[in-house]
Amino acid sequence: MKPVPNSFERKIMLKATRSHVWRALVDAEAFGQWFGVALEDRRFIAGEWTQGQVTYPGYEHVLWNVLVERVEPQQLFSFRWHPYAVNPKIDYSQEPTTLVKFELEDFNGETLLKVSESGFAHIPDVRQKEAYHMDSRGWEEQLSRLENYLVESAKARERDKD
């Protein structure tokens, strides 16, 4: 069986300022709105765990649990988590985590967002392939959800101006 790659990267060009993209990433409540996890009254603080109940249909039984690693304003946000940890009968707490990184760059008046996830080589063999596949595919959907969130947020800001 061919091993899965240790990491992957996804990129998306967002028609939003870096500051708006940054807020959607590091404001926990905003993150939860587009990502599909209840993070009301939560904060992302480097070195601390953040938890919330997943609200995405079909995964409501999952407790989302991340260790925030780095918060470098308007540049980099990263956290560690257990990839595709969705089976309530499995205790994932002793498994290695993967590292998710969000990196922002200005690009022609828009914001280039790079999302990468690494560390799959350390995930137990029995889960490695599925975790890689589901997270790799999942980030494509989540970036689309982020893009929609930013569009709706911009519309709301425009309405508030009137």
- Whether 31 contacts 25, CB under 8 Å: yes
Report domain extents, the chain: 7-161
Residue range 12-40: mean pLDDT, rounded: 97
Q: What are the b/e assignments for 130-150, b being 16+ CB within 10 Å?
A: ebbeebbeebeebbeebbebb
CATH of 7-161, one of 3.40.47.10, 3.40.30.10, 3.30.530.20, 1.10.10.10: 3.30.530.20
Mean pLDDT to the nearest integer, 102-124: 96
> For the segment 126-148, what is each residue's pLDDT rounded down to a tens digit?
999 999 999 999 999 999 999 99
pLDDT band at 112 (very low <50, low <70, confident <90, very high): very high
Task: Summarize the confidence of residues 8-12 as an average pLDDT.
Answer: 97
**Across the strands, what pairs with 13?**
112
Question: Cα dist. 33→4, 25, 44, 56, 101 in Å?
Answer: 31, 10, 14, 10, 19
d(CA 51, CA 28): 10
Query: Could you tell me the two tokens for 140?
Result: 């494509």
Q: Is the confidence at residue 1, as pLDDT, over 90?
A: no
Hey, which bits of 4-81 come out as E strands? 7-14, 49-53, 63-72, 76-81
Average pLDDT over residues 29-57: 97
Helices (runs of H) and strands (runs of E) counted in the chain: 3, 6
